[in-house]
Amino acid sequence: AQKVTQAQTEISVVEKEDVTLDCVYETRDTTYYLFWYKQPPSGELVFLIRRNSFDEQNEISGRYSWNFQKSTSSFNFTITASQVVDSAVYFCALSEVEFSGGYNKLIFGAGTRLAVHP
Amino acid sequence: GAVVSQHPSRVICKSGTSVKIECRSLDFQATTMFWYRQFPKKSLMLMATSNEGSKATYEQGVEKDKFLINHASLTLSTLTVTSAHPEDSSFYICSATSTSGSSGANVLTFGAGSRLTVL
C-alpha cells in the first residue's frame, strides 16, 4: 500500500533561516510520482513540484529546492532564506499510476505547518 | 494554465438539508475528477474518483448514498452532501486531470475548496 509520512507536524523559524521539510514515502510501484503542494490559510492548494520515480535529479527553483533520494524513499523540500509569506501548510503527496484508467490518485502526507516569524 | 473553479467557496446549511458543490474545469476537458475532504488541521483524504459518464468510485468508508457524485460532462462534476449533519462539516476540495491512457501522471489541478458548515 502507498503511504506518505511527514513526521514534522509543525516547524517554526525566524525569517531568513533555511528550513527543510521531510517526506518519506512507501510504495511497491516502480513507477510513481511525488508532489509537493503548499496550502496557505486561504485553503487553496498551490502546486510546487512533481517528480517522477525515474528522475532522481535534485531541483532548484528560486529559494526552493528538492532532494529526491530513492534509496531512502525520501523527497525532502528545503526553503532557503525563508520569508513570512512562506508560512503555510506543506503537503507531500504520492501518485499511483493507474494504467487501466489513465488517472492518478494522490495520497497525501499529514502535512507540515510552517510558521515563519519576522 | 489549467484552471478549476469550485463553487460555492463557503456554505452554511441547516441539519437535514442537502448541499451541492460544483467543480468545473474552465479551460480543459477533465476526464477524471477527484473529491477530497479535509478536516481542520488534517490532511486531505480522497473520497471518490469520478470519470465522465460513469459511476464514481468511492474510497473505503465513504458512504455512497451520503455523498452523491455526478460527472455528467467533461467540464463539470458535482458533489451533493445529502441530509447533511454537523459531522459533515468540513473543507471539500476537488481536483481535475486531463490524463488519458497510460502516458503517466499529469499535474492535478485543484479547486479552491468549499467550506461546508452544517448547523
Tell me the per-residue pLDDT of B47-70, one tens digit each, with 9 for 90 and over.
999 988 888 999 999 999 999 999
Mean pLDDT of A87-95: 95
Mean pLDDT of B104-118: 82
Nearest CA in chain B to A106: B46
Name the least confident of A29-38, A102-111, B14-23, B78-87: A102-111
B107 vs A43, A47, A109: nearest CB:
A47
B112 vs A33, A37, A44: nearest CB:
A44
Distance (Å) of CA B39 to CA A8, A81, B44, B90: 18, 31, 8, 5
The conformational region for residue A84 under phi > 0 = left, psi -120 to 50 = alpha, else beta, is alpha
**Rounded Cα distance, A55 and A33, in Å:** 10
Residue A115 has what pLDDT?
97
Instruction: Quickly count: other Cβ atoms within 10 Å of residue A4's Cβ.
Output: 24
Name the least confident of A12-21, B9-18, B64-73: B64-73
Q: Are the beta carbons of B95 and A106 separated by less than 8 Å? A: yes
Q: Are the beta carbons of B49 and A103 separated by less than 8 Å? A: yes
- Do the beta carbons of residue B27 and residue B2 sit within 8 Å? yes
Q: Are the beta carbons of A52 and B106 separated by less than 8 Å? A: no
Identify the three-state secondary structure at position A23: coil
Q: Are the beta carbons of A91 and B43 separated by less than 8 Å? A: yes
**Rounded Cα distance, A117 and A29, in Å:** 40
pLDDT(B100) > 60: no
User: How far off is chain B from A39, nearest CA to CA, in Å?
Assistant: 10
Kindly list the residues from chain B whose CB atom is less than 8 angstroms away from the CB atom of residue A111.
Answer: 42-43
Placement of cell 529546492 in the chain: A65
Give the 3-state DSSP-derived string for A30-95, with helices as H, strands as E and coil as C. CCCEEEEEEECCCCCCEEEEEEECCCCCCEEECCEEEEEEHHHCEEEEEECCCCHHHCEEEEEEEE
Kindly list the residues from chain B whose CB atom is less than 8 angstroms away from the CB atom of residue A109.
Answer: 43
